[in-house]
Amino acid sequence: MNRTSILPLAVVGILGLMVLPVPSFVLDFLLAINITVSLAVMLTAMHIIRPLEFSAFPSLLLVTTLFRLGLNVCSTRLILLNGHEGSSAAGRVIETFGNFVVGGNYIVGLVIFLILIIINFAVITKGSGRIAEVAARFTLDALPGKQMSIDSDLASGIITQDHARNKREELAQEADFYGAMDGANKFVRGDAIAGLIITAINIVGGLIIGMTQGGLSVGDAAAIYTILTIGDGLVSQIPSLIISTSAGLVVTRATDGKNLSNQMLGQVFGNPNVLIAGSVVSFALGLVPGLPIFPFLAISGGLYYLYRVTPEPVDPNEAVAAGDGDAPLTEEEELQELLPVEPLQLQVGFSLVPMVDREKGGELLDRIVGLRKRFAKELGIVLPAVHLRDSLDIGGGDYEVYMHGVCVGSGQVMADRVLAIDPGDTVEPIDGIATKDPAFGIDALWIEASDQAKAEMAGYTVVEPAAVIATHLSEIFRDQSADIIGRQELQDLVDVVARRHPKLVDELIPTILSYSEVLSVVRALLREKVSIR
């Protein structure tokens, strides 16, 4: 049996549960499966990095809901048919939940069952449903802006055609996922309502059957059927609550690329100041007369221990200013370091250093690589490698572009924000720091990353800081392309052509044209924006 046939057979089996009688030991096995599957789903939801990694969750939510309802029908049939025989009529699992979990007190069990219903229906399901609804709306509204951003990156050569296709597919999957989650949460709400109704029917029906057909007194019938019904309700609602919690975890998953557990622990307990404050407050609460001192002192001691072992957060500005700690150069080495002049150089302020560090998620290096590939395809020239270095002589968010040691352009970006460019047809203003797009001089705003979806809905084109710098570099290099290519770059181009057409190159250079004349022609073509490819 292959995997493709497992789900159809499982659904057919679930439908069979609603029609065919099932022995109590089989019901025990199915209830155990229900609890185990719900736990597996919740653990999976905790370990995903992005919601799309669990894209099958909406369909799984429907199947698990249908499975629970099928089990409810089976257990109801066994309770009403065999309840007069005793508390084990519907299997050991339901009997255990009815007796052990609630202590055999059906009033306590009924209260716990109603509390689980309220938590599931009014808190978790309602909240996750609202989040899924808003996420679906924002995802669909922001879809055109994100597609335009992908098209812009593709046109700029920042991403390849395959990468653009993958990002478009991911956008479509994201929209479909949140749309499906918006509807799938209705299944959980309906399941909670159905559980409440089934419980009431079981109790009323059990009392009637127990007294009329089982010969039980009112008290005995109420005790047996209520315990069985509450046990059935609990064994059904606990997996339902777990699945609802999993749905909430999936739709609220906003990540920085870390596991949920690492992310939560790092953000909650990663600040020593918070830990020491919590330790002091817990210790003070332990001294309040009447409160138990041991729990608060234990918590205070645990927080103080975490405070001692948690390192102080490092200020990135201080880390950059401190330098690499390399050994100082000798005077002769310093003089030799001053001699070479890089053909292309990009100097960035200390706040922009993480943008060029791939280990910290920096994208600028990849964008410059894409820029060089695009120039090779469009203009037929291979840009020299762009030398990147940090500088404390410029502002933290500033950058400067040098060509053969001469500054040919500069700009300023805010690394912790995104640039919202006004294309001229925006529908509403947004809050931000007014600026100009450094590449084209268009009015723009530096906005918080959390406002990106709102800006895209308003018609703004939102660009990451690394993309702003890469676009500016592209325009500068395009305008200065004639000056970028020199004798060495021309020799490299001639060598490439000579490998494919050696006789043509031998006849042309230097017999007919010298290298200087060819260089003049190439530079003239580039000044006219004509490709030499």
pLDDT of residue 312: 62
In this predicted model, what pLDDT tens digit does every residue of 327-369 receive, in sequence order? 454 555 554 555 566 788 888 888 888 888 777 777 888 888 8
Q: Is 224 exposed, middle or buried (0-12, 13-18, 19+ CB in 10 A)?
A: buried
335 within some domain:
no
Contacts of 463 (CB under 8 A, 6+ apart): 149, 152, 418, 419, 421, 471
Number of structural domains (the chain) is 4
124 within some domain:
yes
Secondary structure (DSSP) of 110-124:
HHHHHHHHHIIIIII
Last residue of a domain, one of 202, 233, 260: 260
The residue written with tokens 């622990």 in the block is 265
Residue 300: which domain range? 271-309
Residue 153 corresponds to which tokens in the numbers above?
């990156």
If asked whether residues 38 and 118 sit together in one domain, one would say: yes
Q: Is the pLDDT of residue 133 over 80?
A: no
71 within some domain:
yes
If asked whether residues 369 and 493 sit together in one domain, one would say: no
In this predicted model, what pLDDT tens digit does every residue of 13-69 receive, in sequence order? 888 888 888 888 888 899 999 999 999 998 988 888 887 888 888 888 888 888 888
Give dist(CA 209, CA 249) in Å, integer: 43
Give dist(CA 238, CA 450) in Å, integer: 35
Give dist(CA 494, CA 488) in Å, integer: 10
If asked whether residues 250 and 360 sit together in one domain, one would say: no
If asked whether residues 254 and 278 sit together in one domain, one would say: no
pLDDT of residue 307: 82
- DSSP-derived pairing of the beta strands 344-348 and 386-390: parallel
Give dist(CA 509, CA 511) in Å, integer: 5
Looking from the CA of 40 toward its CB, the CA atoms found within 13 Å total 10
If asked whether residues 34 and 115 sit together in one domain, one would say: yes
Secondary structure (DSSP) of 253-270:
---SSS-HHHHHHHHHHS
If asked whether residues 292 and 434 sit together in one domain, one would say: no
Secondary structure (DSSP) of 132-193:
HHHHHHHHHHHHHHHHHHHHHHHHTTSS-HHHHHHHHHHHHHHHHHHHHHHHHHHHHHHHHH
If asked whether residues 254 and 393 sit together in one domain, one would say: no
419 within some domain:
yes
If asked whether residues 439 and 358 sit together in one domain, one would say: yes
Residue type, position 140, single letter: L
Give dist(CA 439, CA 448) in Å, integer: 21
If asked whether residues 471 and 499 sit together in one domain, one would say: no
Report the percentage of the chain scoring pLDDT > 70. Answer: 89
If asked whether residues 360 and 426 sit together in one domain, one would say: yes
If asked whether residues 26 and 83 sit together in one domain, one would say: yes
Contacts of 195 (CB under 8 A, 6+ apart): 72, 117, 233, 236, 237, 240
Q: Is the pLDDT of residue 322 over 50?
A: no
62 within some domain:
yes
Q: Is the pLDDT of residue 92 over 80?
A: yes
pLDDT of residue 22: 84
pLDDT of residue 37: 92
In this predicted model, what pLDDT tens digit does every residue of 279-290 receive, in sequence order? 899 889 888 888
327 within some domain:
no
Cis omega (within 30 of 0) for bond into 429: no
If asked whether residues 210 and 108 sit together in one domain, one would say: yes
pLDDT band at 157 (very low <50, low <70, confident <90, very high): low
458 neighbors 422 (Cβ within 8 angstroms) = no
Between 320 and 138, the more confident residue is 138
For residue 90, give the 3-state DSSP assignment.
Answer: coil
138 within some domain:
no
The residue written with tokens 């939510």 in the block is 61
**Looking at residue 351, what DSSP letter applies?**
G
pLDDT band at 103 (very low <50, low <70, confident <90, very high): low
Q: What is the largest CA-CA distance in the chain?
A: 118
Tally the residues of the chain: 533
Q: Is the pLDDT of residue 73 over 90?
A: no
Q: 488 vs 493, 494, 500, 510, CA distance in Å?
A: 9, 10, 19, 16
| CATH code of residue 452 | 3.40.30.60
Q: Rounded mean pLDDT of 376-404?
A: 83
Task: Indicate the pTM of the whole model.
Answer: 0.55
In this predicted model, what pLDDT tens digit does every residue of 267-315 receive, in sequence order? 777 778 888 888 899 889 888 888 888 888 899 898 888 888 776 655 5
333 within some domain:
no
